[in-house]
Structure 1
Amino acid sequence: MSDIAVGRPVGRVHSWDLSTGVDGPGTRFVLFTSGCPLRCLYCQNPDTWHMRDGRPTTVDEVMARIDTCRAFLTASGGGVTLSGGEPLLQPAFTGEILRRCKEAGLHTALDTSGNLGNRADDALLARTALVLLDIKSFDRARYRGLTGGDLAPTLRFARRLDALGVPVWVRYVLVPGWTDDEADVDGLAAFVAGLSVVERVDVLPFHKLGAAKYAALGRPFPLRDTPAPCPALVERVRGQFRAHGLRAD
């Protein structure tokens, strides 16, 4: 019998919370897993970067916590979202939670950068009702400078989700000087519009609410001098996505 089957500690978890809005439809139980391969300059959760800092947690523990608010989640048309960190850094743990949630009749969402999309097998994606796909930038060089990673795996994962028919909400963090270039936004909008599974694009204005976490960890916040985007810039970028026939909020 596998460790997962008997509910032994198989995952590293940072925290969990209830949210509404951009984490999926309705009220969501959001599980934040520990560990992430990227180092996004605007990351608001630097305390989730390393798996070693997470708490060893069993699938049974997670499901027991979800059960305490299951009636509320169901009544609101919500469900469970696995976030991080990067949940695909722990694909067996993530996949089992998705399986258990789907069997319990709960809507499931996976919040991922897509950088480790090759770790999500078809069975895991079959248990996923929605993917919240964070596309950090559409310019390869800027993507690497912003995240330390490669853009190509995310685009491959997006195409795979399209081929499998898995619904997607694209998330795009708008950072002045990094992700506001008109040509880059237009290129991303054209790419996203070519995917039949994209239901919406969430343009998320950059903010500095996580700066205190960097201070607590003794690290400088890389974008401490970067301003939040003004409303006109936010609307311009949303308008670029809408011009391609996409819903953009």
Structure 2
Amino acid sequence: MANGIATDIATGTANGAVTGRIHSWDLSTGVDGPGTRFVLFVSGCPLRCLYCANPDTWHMRDGKPATVDEVMAEIEKYRAFITTAGGGVTLTGGEALLQPAFTAAVFRRCKELGLHTALDTSGFLGARATDGLLADTDLVLLDIKSFDATTYRKLTCGELAPTLDFATRLDRLGKRMWIRYVLVPGWTDAPEAIDGLAAFLAGLGSVERVDILPFHKLGAHKYDALGVPFPLRNTPVPDVTLVDRVRGQFRERGLPAH
């Protein structure tokens, strides 16, 4: 569904094994958590961010069915490598919390193998993350799209409050957080909104860093392939001066910004 919250219908059981729908997987270094990581992209997302680089992950129905056993068999091929490289497993999407039972099952198995786990999420569905799921999550990469509620709604077709509630809950649990902030000229560069977000984050003791992610158009070809307009095709990418100014605003609050 375009703008509503789909249920966890893609997650079920097959021969006793939890199943979900996935888009793809990849190996990455330094972007999706510490070290070299096995990154699993799950299918389905309740938001429609104007700058989304992965519109091909929006719908669960477009994903491939996969059991947790199948996912773990793929991870096992790289377990020695990612462990040696100080990495682990990251679930992203799409939105991993749209399939919370599947995400929880993968993380449980990862922890049984001693693998570091990271959850990349907008936090919009944070209420779906059970305490058990979070207990098996070593790090949350929390994407905060904007600190202005009106801008957030226009930018994502969602609401800001659930994300802030989730951040507060994670802090209460002492859960490590890396904050991700996509910098889009004309959308997320307002100094007062950034100051507000910086002040909010500075009050959360478990925030370890803030990553400023400059808006890019690398996913434009995916919109073309899907026959979907790319809303920010004519929006400029941020220049170095703007990126430095925004990083500086977070650093003024004592937050490590990268």
Normalized against structure 2, the TM-score is what?
0.94
SS in 1 for 2:17: coil
Say if 2:165 is the partner of 1:156.
yes
1:70 matched to which residue of 2?
79
CA deviation vs aligned residue, 1:8-54 (integer Å, no higher than 9, x gap): 5x200000000011200000100000000000000000000000000
Find the counterpart in structure 2 of residue 50 from structure 1.
Answer: 59
Count residues with an aligned counterpart: 247
Cα deviation, 1:175-224, whole Å, max 9, x if unaligned, reads 00000000000000000110000000000000000000000000111000
Q: Which amino acid aligns with 2:145?
A: K
Q: Which residue of 1 aligns with 2:8?
A: none
1:134-173 deviation per Cα after TM superposition (whole angstroms, max 9, x unaligned): 0000000000000000000000000000000100000000
Q: Deviations over 1:88-143 (max 9, x none)?
A: 00000000000000110000000000000000010000000000000000000000
2:233 to 224, 228, 239: 224
CA distance in 2, matches of 1:197, 1:166: 6
The one-letter amino acid of 1:216's match is A
Give the alignment of 1:1-249 within 5 angstroms: 3=13, 6-7=16-17, 10-249=19-258
Please give the per-residue CA displacement for 1:59-103, whole angstroms capped at 9, x wherever unaligned: 000000000000110000000000000000000000000000011
Q: Return the alpha-carbon distance in structure 1 between the equivalents of residues 255 and 125 of structure 2.
A: 26
Q: CA RMSD in A?
A: 1.0
**Any stretches of 5+ residues in structure 2 without a counterpart?**
1-11
The CA deviation at 1:5 is 8.1
Separation in 2 of the partners of 1:111 and 1:55?
20
Runs of 4+ aligned structure 1 residues displaced above 3 Å come to none
- Alpha carbons 1:4, 1:93 under 8 Å: kept: no
Q: Is the 8 A contact 1:4 1:59 kept in 2?
A: no
Q: How far, CA to CA, are the matches of 2:257 and 2:68 in structure 1?
A: 35
| Matched-pair identity in % | 72
* Alpha-carbon distance, 1:4 to partner: 7.1
TM-score (ref. length: structure 1): 0.98
1:3 aligned counterpart, secondary structure: strand
What is aligned with 2:9? Answer: none
